[in-house]
Amino acid sequence: MRIEKIAPGFSLDKARIGTVEGGESGLLVWKFDQLVAVLTCIDEEAYSMKGKWFLETGFGLLSGQHRNFDTVEEAIDWVGRHTFPRSS
């Protein structure tokens, strides 16, 4: 199920990410129909970051990157600046 596009060329799919028992809410981040990142919504109060977003994994130029973001918009903006532009 695709949800609204939040930036030019980007779309998101809701997903359960298997990082803990029962999974966490997450998003598959697509840029021009290519999967570029997987984000999870931090749901653990122990980390004092509940409700923030974590770059679980990235592909291509994002490979090996792990970051926290206050909002999903901030995360998408960062992903957009650190991925390849659309190929012609």
**Phi, psi angles (nearest 5°) of residue 41:** -90, 120
Q: Are 32 and 9 in contact (CB under 8 A)?
A: yes
- DSSP assignment of 37-81, as one string? EEEEE---GGGT-TT-EEEEEE-GGGTT---EESSHHHHHHHHHH
Q: Which two tokens stand for residue 32?
A: 């021009």
Q: How confident is the model at residue 75 (pLDDT cuts 50, 70, 90)?
A: very high
Q: Which two tokens stand for residue 26?
A: 């997450």
Return the domain boundaries, the chain.
10-81
Sign, Cα dihedral of 69, 73, 75, 81: negative
State the average pLDDT over residues 53-77.
Answer: 92
pLDDT of res. 3: 45
3-62 pLDDT, tens digit each:
454 677 888 999 999 887 778 899 999 998 899 999 999 876 655 667 889 999 999 999
